[in-house]
Amino acid sequence: MNIELKPVKREELETVWKMQVEAFKELLQKYQDYDMSPAAESIDKITARFEQPWTTYYFIMADNKCVGVIRIVDKKDTSRKRISPIWIMKEFRNNGYASRAILEAERIHGLHHWCLDTILQEEGNLHLYEKMGYHRTGRIDKINDRMDIVYYEKD
């Protein structure tokens, strides 16, 4: 299986937004985190991020099919590079696409000095990131009675 990260173009942002809303809607329903869920974001927020010089959105392509998206924040300075967010569409999950996309992002942007955060209660996410060599920083933010955010780094 071939994974390619294809940079998103401005005219493709509506597609990114629709995919993001669809990919995160079950988590929004589960955790009711309307202030921070990617499923509750407007297209304007995605457009604003896209316009940041340090942000690159990529379509995750597997055998010429778009299976998800990853956003990389890389200020090309001494700060950590960041994955925020990454998602695989429901019908393509559990096929190794996310781990391969992370490896490809690290190949493109550099192997060291990364960070990300995720929902503490989503054990599949924790397993993925820990398998990829990310370690918990010790910081956990309580969002509501259902959900906490846990922070990871990789050096």
pLDDT at 2: 85
pLDDT at 47: 98
For range 84-106, the mean pLDDT? 97
pLDDT at 141: 98
Provide the 3-class DSSP secondary structure of residue 118: strand
d(CA 124, CA 41): 23
Whether pLDDT at 74 is above 90: yes
pLDDT at 6: 98
pLDDT at 59: 98
In angstroms, the Cα distances linking 31 to 47, 50, 91, 120, 141 are 25, 26, 21, 11, 14
Whether pLDDT at 45 is above 90: yes
pLDDT at 1: 72
**Considering its fold, how many domains does the chain have in total?**
1
* Residues facing 4 on adjacent strands: 61
pTM exceeds 0.85 for this model: yes
Quote the domain boundaries for residue 37.
3-154
Whether pLDDT at 93 is above 90: yes
In angstroms, how far apart are the furthest CA atoms of the chain? 41
CATH code: domain of residue 133: 3.40.630.30
For range 26-31, the mean pLDDT? 97
Q: Could you write out the DSSP letters of every residue in 24-56?
A: HHHHHHHH--TTT-GGG--HHHHHHHHTSTTEE
